[in-house]
Amino acid sequence: MEDEEQRVSEIAAKLEARIRDGSAQVGILGLGYVGLPLSVEFAAAGLPVVGFDLSSSKVEAVNRGESYIKDVPGERLAPLTRSGRLRATTDFEALGACDAVVICVPTPLSKTKDPDLSMVVEASKAIAARLRPGQLVVLESTTYPGTTEELILPILTEGGLRVGQDFFLAFSPERVDPGNGSFNTRNTPKVIGGFTAACSRMARALYGRAIDTLVPVSSPRAAEMVKLLENTFRSVNIGLVNEVALMCERLGIDVWEVIDAASSKPFGFMPFYPGPGLGGHCIPIDPFYLSWKLKTLNYRARFIELAGEVNSAMPEHVCSRIADALNDRCKSVKGSRILVLGVTYKKDIDDVRESPALDVLRILERRGARVGYNDPYVPHLELNETRLASQDLLPAVREADAVVIVADHSSYPYREIVEAAQVVVDTRNATRGIASDKIVKI
């Protein structure tokens, strides 16, 4: 028994020493909005990094030093690839040479809002096929509490290696906020939950090389719940304020004025803002992971489901406001030219994942409108198997029967837009401070 404990401590000590002296190779599975920034941070911290992705175009771009992620400047990526500190590959055999492997693959929902963990499973199988003593495996992909223990651990232990002894396993949720100028991968605190004390120690040693602040918790399950609490908090509060916006509309009150005034309270209030619906990979999706998990335990997550119901109805409400605005001008939606400004899920980014603008465009098209869009970050867009191109801003505004602001990009000249438009439906209060009877707000 003593010999076994000594062997385990030697395995952990060797891995920790390699991490600390900068010789430990880190593998990142998935080079998207989470994986690429994380790869850059580890490489910049002095660790050799191999990024893995099924997309040959992403791999080739990384190896050329060309970034396809707005939050990763090419001038930061290129020196790391030129020096050999960071490289990318589609060959998963290279996983065997990695001392630490971090899984950063997507975890979408199915059409029935059930978790789709197929990419996590495939990533785990790829690791398991090459797993050796002394490796650390970390899952960052958002999922339901229990995934690391119930899904990944059995796959990794099929070959007989023991967690916490032969290899180490942890969960550390990604907290990427695309387009945030203040918080990035390095200065956003990192929650870490190891399967054993040794697992937690190895994960802290790894992330301590590249992240300023570490927040250890007792288990992977606790760390998984942390991420879901964060995003459920946002989803529920956005659902609340969206419902308040609907109430204010019926009461003849300006919801934006109400929120501004309430925000003057220095305690007990945090402002959230209404909008055309939720977007991005996290907020519209993550709470349903928790809801799904609780259903398996015969518990209904009522707040989550109600917030989801309110938020998912907002694109339809926006289209109703557009119809009312056109009707007030003796026009119908059918046959009208409607221009959507901003098709990304939030301002000043190029990400259209789950964007409410796509729902607004689809609903309007279904009602017979002639739809178009402008977005300086999205030159082309696929809509109902049709490829749309971003239109020239002010000429398109002048030709439109109605303009809808969905993503309030900072670069838009809102005063000029209002002056050129026939009517503007503003879902983001982007026209704040502009007095015009052309403006309709939600």
Q: What is the pLDDT of residues 233-249, one digit of tens each?
A: 999 999 999 999 999 99
- Per DSSP, the residues of 117-149 read -HHHHHHHHHHHTT--TT-EEEE-S---TTHII
335 dihedral zone (left: phi>0; alpha: psi -120 to 50; beta): left
Give the residue numbers marked as catalytic: 282
Locus of tokens 């495996």:
137
pLDDT at 8: 65
CB atoms inside a 10 Å sphere around CB 7:
13
Q: In terms of C-beta density within 10 A (0-12 exposed, 13-18 middle, 19 or more buried), how is residue 87 classed?
A: middle
Q: In terms of C-beta density within 10 A (0-12 exposed, 13-18 middle, 19 or more buried), how is residue 95 classed?
A: buried
Q: How confident is the model at residue 178 (pLDDT cuts 50, 70, 90)?
A: confident
pLDDT at 176: 87
User: Is the per-residue pLDDT at 141 higher than 60?
Assistant: yes
β-bridge partners, 136: 100, 168
- Per DSSP, the residues of 19-42 read HHHT---EEEE--STTHHHHHHHH
What mean pLDDT comes out for the span 176-189?
92
- pTM of the model as a whole: 0.91
Q: In terms of C-beta density within 10 A (0-12 exposed, 13-18 middle, 19 or more buried), how is residue 14 classed?
A: middle
User: Is the per-residue pLDDT at 4 higher than 60?
Assistant: no
User: Distance between CA atoms of 292 and 308, rounded to whole angstroms?
Assistant: 13
- 397 closest CA partner among 365, 429, 419: 419
Q: How confident is the model at residue 3 (pLDDT cuts 50, 70, 90)?
A: low
User: Is the per-residue pLDDT at 2 higher than 70?
Assistant: no
User: Distance between CA atoms of 395 and 326, rounded to whole angstroms?
Assistant: 20
pLDDT at 281: 74
User: Is the per-residue pLDDT at 329 higher than 70?
Assistant: yes
368 dihedral zone (left: phi>0; alpha: psi -120 to 50; beta): left
pLDDT at 6: 65
Report how far apart, in Å, the C-alpha atoms of 424 and of each of 59, 72, 311, 363, 434 are: 42, 34, 22, 18, 12
Phi, psi of 370 (to 5 degrees): -95, 105
What mean pLDDT comes out for the span 327-338?
96
pLDDT tens for each residue of 143-167: 999 999 999 999 999 999 999 999 9
Which tokens is 36 given?
């690429």
Helix (H, G, I), strand (E, B) or coil at 373: strand
Spatial contact of 409 and 348, defined as CB atoms under 8 Å apart: yes
pLDDT at 282: 79
Q: How confident is the model at residue 168 (pLDDT cuts 50, 70, 90)?
A: very high
User: Is the per-residue pLDDT at 112 higher than 80?
Assistant: no
pLDDT at 179: 86
Q: How confident is the model at residue 250 (pLDDT cuts 50, 70, 90)?
A: very high
Q: Which secondary-structure segment (H or E) carries 78?
A: helix 74-82
**Hey, what domains does the chain have and what are their CATH numbers?**
2-226 (3.40.50.720), 248-277+313-441 (3.40.50.720)
pLDDT tens for each residue of 352-398: 988 999 999 999 999 999 999 999 999 999 988 889 999 999 999 99
Locus of tokens 């589609």:
90
- 290 closest CA partner among 233, 332, 336, 228: 228
Spatial contact of 322 and 301, defined as CB atoms under 8 Å apart: no
3-state helix, strand, coil in the chain (%, to 5): 40, 15, 45
pLDDT at 283: 81
pLDDT at 5: 58
Which tokens is 219 given?
């288990």
β-bridge partners, 139: 103, 171
User: Distance between CA atoms of 164 and 161, rounded to whole angstroms?
Assistant: 9
Percentage of the chain lying above the pLDDT 90 cut: 90
pLDDT at 115: 87
The per-residue pLDDT of the chain, averaged, comes to: 95
pLDDT at 109: 82
On the CB side of 335, how many CA atoms lie within 13 Å of its CA?
4
pLDDT tens for each residue of 254-312: 999 999 999 999 999 999 999 999 888 778 888 888 999 999 999 999 999 999 999 99
pLDDT at 105: 96
Helix axes 302-312, 220-251, angle to 10 degrees: 50
Count, residues in the chain? 442
